[in-house]
Structure 1
């Protein structure tokens, strides 16, 4: 325990170094930052997080390609497009994410925004229980996301949940972007129903490697329980904003090769 607490000054300095506007341009979070309308931020934030594997330059390029295919107005395009408009997506691909997945995402967004003004509703059960956890939110979201008739089974690999023992790296990153509030200008903080203190650290390869070196992870497997272990240890450093240390761990891993 004392060893983890001893890390606080060092990691706080790294949060201050990387949680600033200069971080945005080379990270997938630059994609939702291209927009000012809440629904566009949500749609492209979600898509950028789901496509976030591989080189960041490629991720950003593919997201910009998607935006162009939606005429630069994602929410308006999705809620107003017809079958003819959808043909332009038949050749979209990023690694294992293909046109089938793309078209299902569009249909999900269309159905959702026909009934709700924010994607936040998709992560909150109708009868929101007291003490709602991120685990509850992610399990609910996956069920809701695949509630449309005849969803493509192949798309399930792109939207995982704690029920699948996944680390849910991409979804936890998206939740950080949407729900974490501060005055630094990187995260958006436009959602209110998921508390910052409950957010979980996205566990990618860089974060995992650095966290193990620092003793923040001891679990051998890399799964949902590993995400919980890391986040609980970060909560010892800041119980109100544990996921801010994602900036420090990611920055140390990818920028400093720690």
Structure 2
């Protein structure tokens, strides 16, 4: 695979000067691989050999050290993992060190026992939470809103998994996320903006990342796979600026907007090459981003 990087400068030059051969930004499967070969001089096998190599490299315990997923890895109780994971994923934008530090603060505010705190907090416990920002625009009010809604859901269900279940006729988490939002958002509140909706064409990156953590399971031990009622085949890659840009440079994403339609476009290609575990390619796209091999 080292020979792949002989293409690097050629990829950059040809990609940046190419015209996207798609209508209205939507994926055109009939022209995709011809377009890919024209622009990048790569076969589809080259692309997915690279992605499989990078997924194998970055899907390792070393990944945990500098990633927000380290927060739920401190816990063993299923509900602790869910709550700490959901909160950590919900503030996962910006600098990763800041995300981890601020997620730590939330764990400390809950006495490092998230589920116990959620089910037993009193008004005085909530009053002791500092009335200031937790992480950027996620503030004290949003945190309390999340805590109250966690309690309401866990009073009805054993696990958050039960409100994310996929129906038989569904192919991804679009409808599942909306059903979860209907359960979780009990009232109109500023905190609801932190629970994004594919129905509004949001890429829902943070929720999709949380779902990867909960649903994926392999021998590498990064993702938890504690939700056994949901098949990993329904997962998508969490789409942010970095994964989207790498995907475009590789030619596997043509849509310019980072939205739910782009998520579904990427699903179409990634599932073609790994229908069982498409979200494993999140590690590959992340790795190519941090290694700056395509800058």
TM-score bracket, shorter-length normalisation: over 0.9
User: Does 2:246 correspond to 1:210?
Assistant: yes
* Match of residue 220 from structure 1: 256
Q: Measure the CA separation in 2 of the matches of 1:167 and 1:5.
A: 27
Deviations 1:166-221 (A, max 9, x none): 00101110110000111100000011232111111100111011100000110122
User: Does 2:209 correspond to 1:168?
Assistant: no
Q: TM-score by structure 1 length?
A: 0.93
Q: TM-score by structure 2 length?
A: 0.82
Deviations 1:207-236 (A, max 9, x none): 011100000110122210001111211112
User: Does 2:153 correspond to 1:112?
Assistant: yes
User: Does 2:60 correspond to 1:20?
Assistant: yes
* Residue ranges of structure 1 left out of the alignment (5+ in a row): none
Q: Measure the CA separation in 2 of the matches of 1:241 and 1:70.
A: 34
User: Does 2:252 correspond to 1:252?
Assistant: no
Q: CA deviation at 1:92?
A: 4.4
Please report the RMSD computed on the Cα atoms of aligned residues, expressed in angstroms. Answer: 1.4
* Match of residue 41 from structure 1: 81
Q: Measure the CA separation in 1 of the matches of 2:293 and 2:98.
A: 20
* Residue ranges of structure 2 left out of the alignment (5+ in a row): 1-32, 35-42
Q: Helix, strand or coil: the match of 1:93? A: strand
* Match of residue 194 from structure 1: 230
Q: CA deviation at 1:8?
A: 1.5
Q: Measure the CA separation in 2 of the matches of 1:155 and 1:23.
A: 30
Q: CA deviation at 1:257?
A: 5.3
Q: CA deviation at 1:115?
A: 1.9
Q: Measure the CA separation in 2 of the matches of 1:117 and 1:64.
A: 25
- CA separation of 1:195/1:80 partners in 2, compared to 1, >3 Å: closer, same or farther? same
Which runs of structure 1 show a deviation greater than 4 angstroms over 4 or more consecutive aligned residues?
none
Deviations 1:102-131 (A, max 9, x none): 11100001111122211111213xxx6323
* Match of residue 66 from structure 1: 106
Q: Helix, strand or coil: the match of 2:180? A: helix
* Match of residue 143 from structure 1: 182
User: Does 2:47 correspond to 1:11?
Assistant: no
Q: Helix, strand or coil: the match of 2:55? A: helix
Segment of structure 1 superposing worse, 162-171 or 113-122: 113-122
Q: Which has the greater radius of gyration? A: 2
* Match of residue 97 from structure 1: 138
* Match of residue 129 from structure 1: 167
Q: CA deviation at 1:49?
A: 0.7
Match of 1:242 among 278, 281, 292: 278
Is contact 1:180-1:187 (8 Å) kept?
yes
